[in-house]
Structure 1
Amino acid sequence: MLAFLQTNTPIVIFNQIVVTLLTVCFLYQVVFFVIGALRGEVAPPKAKKLHRYAFFIAAHNEEAVIANLVRSIKDQDYPSELIEVFVVADACTDNTAQLAREAGAIVYERNDLARKGKSWVMDYGFDRILNEYPDTFEGYFIFDADNVISRDYVSKMNDAFDQGFHVVTSYRNSKNFGSSWISSANATWYLREARFLNNARNICKTSCAVSGSGYLISASVIEGMHGWQFHTLTEDIQFTTFCAIHGIRIGYAPAEFFDEQPVTFKASWKQRMRWTKGFYQVFFTYGKHLVKSTFRYHRFAAYDMFMT
């Protein structure tokens, strides 16, 4: 009896309650995993229309990689006249702007040292594009400078976009899977995120989540904001949360792009600390709105993001 009381102290009981509660709350992700494993990848029907797109790339001192991405965009099996590439060279001290132009991109050079960060670069770039190319594009792809896309990327994304989604995300693969156990672990996580989360969410007709880069946004969304209004450390999660609250369903397409993953534990730790701070920013800004959207409007996507 004494042993039982010693092992069931208030803190142990509290921990057991918390573990049980979290298990119940996250059980739906087990369902997603099973669905992703059994149903395979989604395959949207071929698009009835070839839409016109712009690629948006924020770049800071990326002369080593920027041309590779622009060339992979220019080499798509999609009509080249329906694709334009914009690079915002942000406070660069190298040849990023020149190499991007030589590869075929339209380049804007920005030197605002007071408002640093990708989100402010996006706000600046979208504002210029909307003013200089009004009513030209139907959607915008968001990419980081170190990415490279597969040759059928735009075609697959266009198939999903043509189904009526305002936002579509894709599959982030790794450029350096075997560089270290850190890069391998990151690549495995993104495989899980694509196949067993976003793919399953799409099958279940709930909303997916965008992650960093490799996603497509309808021009109507960008035009509504006339730029980019999400400025936390994790603007991608902030945007996803905004969509979940307002009932904007994010779709998924098995279109593949390749991303550079951290190789060292130090680099990975620094990245994740920034993400953690960003998650707190989003939670304290949108937490009550997620709860309201979950219970009042019965939006499962809001519950999903609250758990995230």
Structure 2
Amino acid sequence: MLDQFLSQLTVVDIFNTGVFLAFTICYVYQFFYIFTVLTKKPPKQEAKRNHRYAVMISARNEIAVIGDLIHSIRMQNYPQELIDIFVIADNCTDDTARVAREAGATDVFERFNKELIGKGYALDFGYKRIQELYADNGYEAYFVFDADNVLDVNYFREMNKVFDGGAIASTSYRNSKNYGSNWISAGYAVWFLREAKYLSQARLTLNTSCAISGTGFYIAADVLARHGGWKWHLLTEDIEFSAQTITEGGRISYCPTAMLYDEQPVTFKDSWNQRFRWAKGFYQVFAHYAWGLLKGIFTNKKGARFACYDMLMTIAPAMLLTIITIGFNGTIAVLALLGYISAGSMVVSALSCMFFCLFNYCLFMFILGALTTFTEWDNIHSTPGKKIAYLFTFPFFMLTYIPIALIALVKKAKWKPISHTISVDVEQMSKASQK
């Protein structure tokens, strides 16, 4: 009976089964992450003392939002004498520097460099200026925020607990201030909430390493000093730092009680450009760090081996498996229609696989989006109607990653600015998060 079954398998069946098994084996552990979050609470920490921090904000033409971020930092339930704010006005053509100074920044460093473009270069410039002018202040860690962020009033108090516990770096709970703008901003918001809840929190609970993600994180001062500044300049400098740290056996923590609000793109053009840069950046990080992470799975100290595997799966071009599967099956179907092959069963298998591949992808994303939306319902600042409606657009938002990932393989990416215009009332946002 088994022999008869195997004899009926086509090349298409074998290929598709192999891809399915490979994908399942590589990523089944993330289902355990979900189970962990739903059944276990993350560890709680308390701080024995308050530490001194420097904040670095890279800003390019952010006049509309930079004041809100600085205001939210100045409103923190944390001693203000222990927080200094440094804004790097990077190639600005507006009054970002002036607005930042008036809002209460400790200092503003204006940078004009059209050759070295990117957030990583701006952060390195800012870090070196701080070392030149404020080295005696004894900063113990450096926080990094994007100019469009605002912080919950307890953000620094909660992150201080993690730093006091010995974590060399930590990310935080990334919420969004404009979930309800449209289906695009909602797609981003749900993805980042899912990342915080079902990746970072699970990793924290299981005592493995997290990863920093764009904004809302700190890095210990001695880590930056050891590297001679901010030395991560790939398109996704945050993931590059995470990959290098984990390769070296370091552990990045997470603070689920430190909430940050991030502004998401609202046009498909801006979203495409940003996610294209991310996709290209992930390919870059994979090319630079995949071998080191693979070795780390076997050679790092025991507590750090799984983190290498987890990070490798994070940067691995998993979307390519979907693209390859669709491409392979599509090629079989086209060749059959053109008369180059005549195996009818192969054509049926190919067309079926293409349909079910896309259907299952959308179904999986819908389930992830629904799970995230319902467990984080109170943290999403929007109407119930929009929360439900955007459950059904989230799979389509994620589906658009397929052409982005494909084009990123062959096209160069350049950093393109995204305008931020949504100003929010910091006090109102903080009160909403406490309801």
Counterpart position of 2:367: none
Q: Cα distance 1:197–1:277, how it changes in 2: closer, same or farther (>3 A)?
A: same
Q: Cα distance 1:174–1:7, how it changes in 2: closer, same or farther (>3 A)?
A: farther
1:23-34 aligned at under 5 Å gives the runs 23-34=24-35
Counterpart position of 1:82: 82
Counterpart position of 1:228: 230
Counterpart position of 1:165: 167
Counterpart position of 1:13: 14
Residue identity matched to 1:234: T
Counterpart position of 1:198: 200
> Hey, what's the Cα distance between the residues in 2 that align with 1:48 and 1:130?
27
Q: Cα distance 1:5–1:126, how it changes in 2: closer, same or farther (>3 A)?
A: same
Q: Which has more helix, going by share of residues? A: 2
Counterpart position of 1:262: 265
> Hey, what's the Cα distance between the residues in 1 that align with 2:237 and 2:55?
18
Please say which of residues 69-78 and 181-190 is displaced more in the overlay. 181-190
Deviation at 1:262, TM superposition (A): 1.6
> Hey, what's the Cα distance between the residues in 2 that align with 1:282 and 1:139?
25
Deviation at 1:4, TM superposition (A): 6.7
Counterpart position of 1:306: 312
Deviation at 1:270, TM superposition (A): 1.6
> Hey, what's the Cα distance between the residues in 2 that align with 1:55 and 1:232?
22
Residue identity matched to 1:92: C
SS at the partner of 2:135? coil
Q: Cα distance 1:290–1:97, how it changes in 2: closer, same or farther (>3 A)?
A: same
Taking structure 1 as the reference length, what is the TM-score of the superposition? 0.96
Residue identity matched to 2:264: Q
> Hey, what's the Cα distance between the residues in 1 that align with 2:157 and 2:43?
12
Deviation at 1:194, TM superposition (A): 0.7
Contact preservation (8 Å) 1:44, 1:253? no
Deviation at 1:226, TM superposition (A): 2.2
SS at the partner of 1:134? helix
Deviation at 1:25, TM superposition (A): 1.3
Counterpart position of 1:286: 289
Q: Cα distance 1:30–1:233, how it changes in 2: closer, same or farther (>3 A)?
A: same
Residue identity matched to 1:117: G
Contact preservation (8 Å) 2:43, 2:205? no
Residue identity matched to 2:211: A
Task: Please say if 1:207 is aligned against 2:213.
Answer: no
Larger Rg: 2
Deviation at 1:6, TM superposition (A): 9.6
1:92-107 aligned at under 5 Å gives the runs 92-105=92-105, 106-107=107-108
Counterpart position of 2:253: 251
Residue identity matched to 2:311: M
Counterpart position of 2:274: 271
Q: Which has more strand, going by share of residues? A: 1
Taking structure 2 as the reference length, what is the TM-score of the superposition? 0.68
Unmatched runs of 5 consecutive residues or more in structure 1: none
Counterpart position of 1:187: 189
Contact preservation (8 Å) 1:44, 1:160? no
Counterpart position of 1:174: 176
CA RMSD of aligned residues (A): 1.6
Residue identity matched to 2:40: R
> Hey, what's the Cα distance between the residues in 2 that align with 1:12 and 1:118?
46
> Hey, what's the Cα distance between the residues in 1 that align with 2:129 and 2:9?
63
